[in-house]
Amino acid sequence: MSRVIVKLGGSLQIVGPANVEFEVEAANIHQLLQGLGKRYPELRSVLDQGVAVSIDGQIYNGARFQTIAEGAEVFLLPRLVGG
């Protein structure tokens, strides 16, 4: 597993906790979201709303097993919806 620094992006910076940068051990998006919820309980309300994950500028919506490389730039964003 990789050490991942995650930042809250977009409107999540407003609705989330005061801290907008978090560290967690994760090899993929699933582990990232589970680890964030366990290590930072204050993020649970943000995670429960549903989030998209940006890894090095590529947005993943629902790709829970997308791998995350060590040193990747990772942002949590409001879930993207639309048609």
Could you tell me the residue range of the domain that residue 47 belongs to?
2-78
pLDDT of 4 higher than 70: yes
pLDDT of 83 higher than 60: no
pLDDT of 82 higher than 70: no
pLDDT the model gives residue 60: 92
Q: What pLDDT band is residue 80 in, cutting at 50, 70 and 90?
A: low
In a domain, 83, yes or no: no
In a domain, 51, yes or no: yes
Do 68 and 25 touch, CB atoms closer than 8 A? Answer: no
- For residue 12, what is the domain's CATH number? 3.10.20.30
Question: For the segment 9-42, what is each residue's pLDDT rounded down to a tens digit?
Answer: 876 765 555 677 888 999 999 999 999 999 888 8
pLDDT the model gives residue 16: 54
- How many domains does the structure of the chain reveal? 1
In a domain, 27, yes or no: yes
Please state, as a whole number, how many other Cβ atoms lie within 10 Å of the Cβ of residue 75.
Answer: 19
Distance CA(13)–CA(16), nearest Å, equals: 5
In a domain, 12, yes or no: yes
In a domain, 59, yes or no: yes
Lookup: tokens for 68: 């995350």
Question: For the segment 38-56, what is each residue's pLDDT rounded down to a tens digit?
Answer: 988 888 888 888 899 999 9
Alpha-carbon torsion, ordered 63, 69, 70, 71, to 10 deg: -90
